[in-house]
Amino acid sequence: VGAYLCVHEGPQLISNIRRDPDVPLVAGMTTSIEPGYYEDGAFGIRIENVALVRAAETEFAFEGMRCLAFEAVTMAPLQAKLIETAMLTRDE
């Protein structure tokens, strides 16, 4: 992960776009989580946080496969005044 380097996560990709070769996530990889909002032809905003892929602690496995989880490495701060709390659930 870098700044001004045209570097993005990879070789894995979390997307609905297929890539060849299709590289799965494995524990130890880093990736970015990028929630955003875009208005076509107007503007967009995105928050980009780096996350570590790690093995998840779960009681069960799916067909012998263990689950993965994300662990935050960096966190972009959010301005609380810009969050519409009426739209959030109690847990959020």
CA separation for the pair 68, 52 (Å, rounded): 10
> pTM value?
0.64
**What is the separation, in whole angstroms, between the first and last Cα of the chain?**
28
Which has the closest alpha carbon to 73: 18, 27, 30? 30
Reduced to 3 states (helix: H, G, I; strand: E, B; else coil), residue 32 is strand
Supply the DSSP symbol for 24.
P
Give pLDDT tens digits for 14-50. 777 777 778 888 999 988 888 888 889 998 888 888 8
Give pLDDT tens digits for 40-70. 999 888 888 888 999 998 888 788 788 999 9
